[in-house]
Amino acid sequence: MGSTSAQNNEGLGRRDLIKRSAALGLIAVPTMSFLSACASGDSGTDDKVEKGEKSEKNPLAVNGSAPLEIVIFDGGFG
């Protein structure tokens, strides 16, 4: 009779923790390289659009003839 029982009802044992940590470490490196390869870069051109005049109606000096994309984010809190 030993001091440890045959059934480990404590949950995650030391050996299981080491095995899972090693598996996670082996999976983490290829996963990060795969995710970085999937990240999209800027594929657009380097053409610059001239700025417009800054005024009370146009505080950001946006060129009126250039295309403008607006994204409104609600905050994500409900």
- Averaged over 9-33, what is the pLDDT? 86
Whether the per-residue pLDDT at 22 is higher than 90: the answer is yes
The ranges assigned to domains in the chain are 12-37
Residue found under tokens 């607006």: 70
Q: How far apart are the C-alpha atoms of 40 and 32, rounded to whole Å?
A: 14
Q: How far apart are the C-alpha atoms of 44 and 3, rounded to whole Å?
A: 68
Whether the per-residue pLDDT at 5 is higher than 70: the answer is no
